[in-house]
Structure 1
């Protein structure tokens, strides 16, 4: 192993068995928490936005929304997404688009 991330170290200190199962044995996760999917998709969309802006390409809000949605569905294909009580996929996608709209403007 070349390096340890802070999340790897935190997991080890929380539960060394979980660390072993995830990082040593490489067992796949059965699901992703909706909050992680949400954060990752927003981050990906903002990163894409800035890369295109820096390259001098015009970015529309609609395209930014579609990048967010595509990343969300890409993560959904990889594994099941589990939502907290009261959350739905539609509500999280709508919230993400609202946040990206505020960021864009």
Structure 2
């Protein structure tokens, strides 16, 4: 069972745990699920941006082409929320970087 208000939800075992302004529901409303999906996608996008911050540092061990690829990737990530159908849109692929570059586990490293 869920205690739902205008901002979100929490799990409760029964209606006696409801706080003022909450409604008991067994299924989350579609509009709430949609809002939560958007928030989750934005959070995932923010994590990807933070994980690739290092690529824009002056001393990043990347070629000019790799750095430019990451600039384009990061811009595509920033543009995602304005894409029609967000959050159900294809995400940009992570750029490929040369062997030996510090990828923080995010890039595709090829031999």
Which structure's residues are more often helix, by fraction? Answer: 1
State the TM-score, normalizing by the size of structure 2: 0.32
Which structure's residues are more often strand, by fraction? Answer: 2
